[in-house]
Amino acid sequence: MSVPFDPRPLLEPVSPATARAFRKQLADSGRLPGGSGTAGVVIAIVVIVFVVLVFGGVLTAVIGGIVLAAGTRSGTGAVLSLTTVLPLVILIALAALIPFFVRRQRAAQAAVWYRLDRFARANGMSFEPQRPQPPLPGMIFSQGSSRMASNLVRGDRPRFVEFANYRYTTGSGKNQQTHTWGYVAVHLSTPLPHIVLDAVGNNGLFGSNLPVAFDRDQHLSLEGDFDRYFRLYCPRGYERDALYLFTPDIMARFVDNAAALDVEIVDDWLFFYGKRDFSTLDPATWSWLFGAVGAMIDKLAQWERWRDDRLGAPASVNASAPAAPAAPTSPSPALPVAPPSGPLRPPPGVAAPGQRLRRGIPWPAIVVVAVIIGATLIGPIVAFIGGLVAAMR
């Protein structure tokens, strides 16, 4: 029996006392993220120091200019006093506000967690604030560093499903970049070939928004309008298997319910990806995601009947059986086994060629970088050539 969708806890008011109590409950149960709130404190201190240096310096310079313009000899001493004392006064005043801002930030975060926890419970699910390095095989989970899933809402009926936000960073220093994703992970009961549906509607000017590229010769064109919404990649040799998995009714469900999402099937997982937070306090987002997952769940049993013929069927029980011993002199009870009544099927699993797609080269990104580098260098090159020509005259 399914639980009816109930978004009301997402919008119900939460008092500061309730949020603080829930935060303490998370801490007491070991569910509070490690170091939670530390980043907020550091950011607050950095902002305060910056404000003091900038605002205090500008203010004292303005006051000093006014006093000096007045032409009084005592003005110089006043300026020195203001320059020394005023930033210190501002720093002390703002430092006194740090605990207030930190408590407010923690209370706001705890209120979000409280609402999501109540929402999860109301919909037959559970909530976890954060999980570093989530052990999932999807393409986004092997990128970059500082990998963190947050606001995880998960359920296990009729099968395991997890909704969460995800962050990772790439680069370093000035080139460091934080990547934001939302994902839905659905656990399957049998491994399937590695298949990716790259949603056309969320691609950018220079092609796919996925963090990896795949060889173009793995692209499989499907019938109807499906190619207008998704670009499907499957391992070479698994085209017939992809056609078995993506029947017209399943393609229609993806187009109707998940056309804005990238999809990945890998091992025994089905992932939906989007470059935005999924686990939020927005009821419309949850309704959309629940609808996309619900539209597919009753079709997954069809997928889970798939078997990889490349693994081969088990050998016949009589193929290599030893010679039968002499019949016993006295009857013996029948063994609790029976020969298979139908044709033997391969075991669940995927042969090595179908387990992972081959990576490709992101040519659009390479072209863009080459153009930028060329545009950067062309000025100095032209100037250098011009200098040589002028020197030769």
The pLDDT assigned to 204 comes to: 83
Least confident of 233-247, 249-263, 348-362: 348-362
The pLDDT assigned to 254 comes to: 96
pLDDT band at 317 (very low <50, low <70, confident <90, very high): very low
Contact 307, 345 (CB under 8 A): yes
Inform me whether the pLDDT recorded for 176 exceeds 50.
Answer: yes
- Reported pTM: 0.76
Highest mean pLDDT among 36-40, 219-223, 269-273, 367-371: 269-273
pLDDT band at 330 (very low <50, low <70, confident <90, very high): low
The pLDDT assigned to 161 comes to: 97
Task: Give Rg (Cα) of the chain.
Answer: 31
Inform me whether the pLDDT recorded for 199 exceeds 50.
Answer: yes
Residue 244, CA distances (Å) to 57, 251, 308 in order? 70, 11, 11
Inform me whether the pLDDT recorded for 370 exceeds 50.
Answer: no
As a whole number, the mean pLDDT across the chain is 82
pLDDT band at 320 (very low <50, low <70, confident <90, very high): very low
Inform me whether the pLDDT recorded for 367 exceeds 60.
Answer: no
The pLDDT assigned to 213 comes to: 95
The pLDDT assigned to 321 comes to: 41
Helix axes 98-122, 16-28, angle to 10 degrees: 80
Contact 198, 174 (CB under 8 A): no
As a whole number, mean pLDDT of residues 215-233 equals 94
Contact 283, 10 (CB under 8 A): yes
∠ Cα 193 166 192 (to 5°): 10
pLDDT band at 185 (very low <50, low <70, confident <90, very high): very high
The pLDDT assigned to 244 comes to: 95
Inform me whether the pLDDT recorded for 282 exceeds 60.
Answer: yes
Inform me whether the pLDDT recorded for 301 exceeds 50.
Answer: yes
**Sign, Cα dihedral of 357, 360, 364, 369:** positive
pLDDT band at 88 (very low <50, low <70, confident <90, very high): low
Give the dihedral of Cα atoms 170, 172, 175, 178; nearest 10 deg: 40
Burial degree of 340 (CB within 10 A; 0-12, 13-18, 19+): exposed
Helix axes 98-122, 38-51, angle to 10 degrees: 150
As a whole number, mean pLDDT of residues 326-332 equals 52
Percentage of the chain lying above the pLDDT 90 cut = 56
The pLDDT assigned to 42 comes to: 55
Which of 65 and 208 is assigned the larger pLDDT?
A: 208
